[in-house]
Chain A
């Protein structure tokens, strides 16, 4: 048989369910599917005067012969066949048998394809009438209104039932360590109530076994366990003792109990929602065996407590849950009715913060951080968010000790010892975060938890796991109240609602886009109609007016002056149509970015404008001309309009001074176009870019009120900015900024 040597470094992986030994207060025989004996505990000789070896590989009838009985000679075979066909070992157990004048309980169990036959005494230390006790125990336990009362009652009832010196209810906390939350002990004992035990005291695989075997007795830590023998075969597998009632105990655990002074230990598992919620742990300081029936009764009590737990715990949770639910319902309502997610989550009295017991909440959405309640500051949040985005694997991450995993959080222990984050979109870096403050708690450990493993004198890890169980106080810092399953549940529920709202808004945006597309198409048709239908009659007006002037000699001077006015108005109307069309085209045109040679563009423009406008007294200077990235045609429109304006509105100054030059900064290039013209009233700065808006002081100057609107549209299409400085009667400077590197 293989041997797995346990020491403290491998405590967590010690295969305790296949120890190859049983406790020595009973004996074990295992038979295979053909009912041949393939495992026998060595100590069988103490009861049946036969060596274990001699029984190996014998049919079960050999064992039957050795057991005195009243019924059929093949009673074991019958029992096993009954168990196999009806899968009902529970109805057989225990089968009473008398060996040498003493009564024994035969308990039949399964281990893979083998049947385990375990014999243990009927004689028990517990002498109460189980039938009576159970009924009373259950009704007394359930009498308690609060969870704590239920647990106190349960401990008392178990103590009555099995008579152990100490009965504790031990609850596993979030991080795996345990706390004694209820206790009934003999008056001469120091109470353990309120003590905490480190997670290493009950290793993970032991906790798994507690979920399978709901009761477990360690009869006497001071007896030697008996080995289980099987064939002399290198490949023989150790018998799986998961389902065994006699299974021997890990030597480490035995030592642990010895160190506590415990002789017998009995435990009952408490299960809440399929997880090991805790244990009813019973200690006796002298050996105390309780028989199968008493253990079964204890198991029933454990199951009653477990189901009561579900009920009571759920009930206690549900009061809070109802409050949270109301909050989520309000938020959902706000999300479904409001158009804006930020407003819905953070804009009302019932907000994000109230979904949990947090003191601060943060919404990171659409590149904006919204803080509610007490939170770290914006810079700290930004850093935390980038850390979270990098490290969060699931939708939700929570911790009650943020600074342990994320050191910068030490700076805001007071508001953010605990954090719960829920991602909305990893790609967009959108999150919801909640914070809980530090909660200074004092934990009473049973012994120093850091010394759960002690180095021995020889420098090796000592096999005795914990020697000291003196109360050891620890103040827990940097830690908040933990995040409950309910809080996390509410956060996930809220996330669903938010995601739904986001998707719905995305749909709305899509519909808006479609409408916009349609509107653009209509505008296209409109533009065409305007250009054709308005220009055609306009053309006729101008044509005939000019023909009148050209060929009709009978017109006098007054008539000629009137016809000239008609022609001027026609020209102006034509210009207006052209500009409006330009404006609408800029809105839809795609930008084709290229590097524009600004020196050439501005000098060409200067020549063109000088020819077209024939300005008097104009001093136009072109300074530095850093090149910019943009759409050549559109950029040309910007400078044409701005220079045209500068020349036009300074035409009555003498000399009229217009300057244009560019400056290259780190991120952008800014062009300034200045004139010494009429100037713009500060109150109109923002409005001059509106379509058809013209200032009062420029009535005598020709213009359509479209030029600057086009300029602004183009600048915005280039992700640039335009602003101005101006003083009435002194002049105006327009600044246009273009981003570098598109």
Chain B
């Protein structure tokens, strides 16, 4: 069993579609896996870790049905095994309150979803460049 490079937790199908296209355009070899439910996502991550593999980056949308983005983030950052996976909140919000609580729960970054495909490609490119190619992760 192998892990995806990026695990993306998002319930908006349109946005999932656009992000998949953008990643594909940025780097064909990067494996993106999308899950639309927080509980399922957490189970999946644990599953991967048991198999000694883990995603290199987790993107979480804030506004999810059921377990919210912030709740998922908290579970990840409070878990001994998952906490070291870089986790980014990826949301339409630019509310300072949301940004602050994300960092309080231990998010590695807060990125506001850019408007438009062109901006999205730019944004994901730099994230891809940094988190998958530059940053050291253990």
- Chain A interface residues (CB < 8 Å from chain B): 527-528, 531-532, 535-536, 538-540, 542-544, 546-547, 550, 567, 570-571, 574, 578
On chain A, the residues within 8 Å of B93 by CB distance are: 528, 531-532
Q: Would A550 and B117 count as touching, CB distance under 8 A? A: yes
Known: A527-B95, A539-B113, A550-B117. A532 touches B63 (CB 8 A): yes
> Known contacts being A532-B63, A536-B12, A540-B15, is A547 close to B92, with CB within 8 Å?
no
Closest A-B pairs by Cβ, 3 of them: A546-B117, A542-B116, A535-B92
| Contact between A543 and B117, CB atoms less than 8 A apart | yes
User: A531 to B94, Cβ gap below 8 A?
Assistant: yes
Chain A proximity of B17: nearest CB distance (Å)? 9
Q: Judge whether B115 is part of the interface by a CB distance below 8 angstroms.
A: yes
Q: How far is the CB of A527 from chain B (nearest CB, A)?
A: 7
Closest to A542 in B: B116
**In the complex where A539-B15, A543-B18, A547-B18 touch, is A532 in contact with B117 (Cβ < 8 A)?**
no
Complex Cα spacing A550 to B12, Å: 22
Residues on B with beta carbons closer than 8 Å to the beta carbon of A570: 115-116
Minimum C-beta distance from B50 to chain A (A): 35
B27 at interface (Cβ–Cβ under 8 A)? no
**Chain B stretch 79-123: residues in CB contact (< 8 A) with chain A:** 92-95, 113, 115-118, 120
A401 to B77, CA, bound (A): 81
Say whether B94 contacts A539, CB under 8 Å: no
Q: Are B115 and A531 in contact (CB under 8 A)?
A: no
| A542-B117 Cα distance, complex, nearest whole Å | 7
Q: Does B29 contact A (CB under 8 A)?
A: no
Instruction: Given A550-B117, A574-B115, answer yes or no on A539-B21 (Cβ-Cβ < 8 Å).
Output: no
Closest partner residue, chain A, to B14 (CB atom): A540
What string of 1s and 0s marks CB contacts (under 8 Å) between B15-40 and chain A? 10010010000000000000000000
Count of chain B residues with a beta carbon within 8 Å of a chain A beta carbon: 16
Q: Within the complex, what minimum Cβ distance (angstroms) separates A560 from chain B?
A: 15
Complex A-B: 9 CB contacts under 8 Å: A535-B113, A539-B113, A539-B115, A543-B15, A543-B116, A546-B116, A546-B117, A550-B117, A570-B115
Q: How distant is the Cα of A531 from the Cα of B118 in the complex, in angstroms?
A: 21
Say how far B88's CB is from chain A's closest CB, in angstroms. Answer: 17
Chain B residues in the interface with A (C-beta under 8 A): 12, 14-15, 18, 21, 63, 92-95, 113, 115-118, 120
B92→A532 contact, CB < 8 A = yes
A95 to chain B, nearest CB (A): 98
CA distance A536 to B92 in the complex (A): 7
Q: List residues of chain A with CB within 8 A of the CB of B92.
A: 531-532, 535-536, 539
Chain B min CB distance to A247 (Å)? 88
Q: Would you give the shortest CB distance from B54 to chain A, in whole angstroms?
A: 29
Query: CB distance B95 to A571 under 8 Å?
Result: no
A567 interface neighbour in B94, B113, B116, B120, Cβ under 8 Å: B116
Q: Is the CB of B95 within 8 A of A531?
A: yes
* Inter-chain contact B118/A550, CB cutoff 8 Å: yes
Smallest distance from the beta carbon of A336 to chain B beta carbons, Å?
Answer: 44
Most chain B CB within a 10 A radius of its CB, from A547, A570, A578? A547
List chain B residues, Cβ under 8 A from A567: 116
Q: A540-B15, A543-B14, A543-B18 are in contact. Are A528 and B95 (CB under 8 A)?
A: yes
CA distance A311 to B116 in the complex (A): 94
Give CA–CA (A547, B94) in the complex, Å. 24
- Select from chain A the residue with minimum beta-carbon distance to B93: A531
Residues of B within 8 A of A546 (CB): 116-118
Q: Among A535, A539, A540, A571, which residue has the most Cβ atoms of chain B within 10 A? A: A539
B115 pairs with A542, CB closer than 8 A: yes
Contacts of B116 in A (CB 8 A): 539, 542-543, 546, 567, 570-571
B74 to chain A, nearest CB (A): 19
Q: Which residues of A contact B18 (CB under 8 A)?
A: 540, 543-544, 547
Give the one of A527, A536, A543, A547 with max B CB within 10 A. Answer: A543
In the bound complex, how far is the Cα of B15 from the Cα of A544, in angstroms?
10
Closest to B92 in A: A535
The chain B residue with its CB closest to the CB of A567 is B116
Chain A min CB distance to B14 (Å): 4
Q: Which of B12, B15, B94, B116 has the most CB atoms of chain A within a 10 A radius of its CB?
A: B116
Say whether A571 contacts B115, CB under 8 Å.
yes
Residue of chain A at shortest CB distance from B21: A547
Not counting A539-B15, A539-B116, A546-B117, a sample of 17 additional A-B residue pairs whose C-beta atoms are within 8 angstroms of each other reads A527-B95, A528-B95, A531-B92, A531-B95, A532-B92, A536-B15, A536-B92, A538-B115, A539-B92, A540-B15, A540-B18, A543-B120, A544-B117, A546-B118, A547-B18, A570-B116, A571-B116
Q: Which residues does chain B contribute within 8 Å of A547, judged by CB atoms? A: 18, 21, 117
* Closest partner residue, chain B, to A574 (CB atom): B115
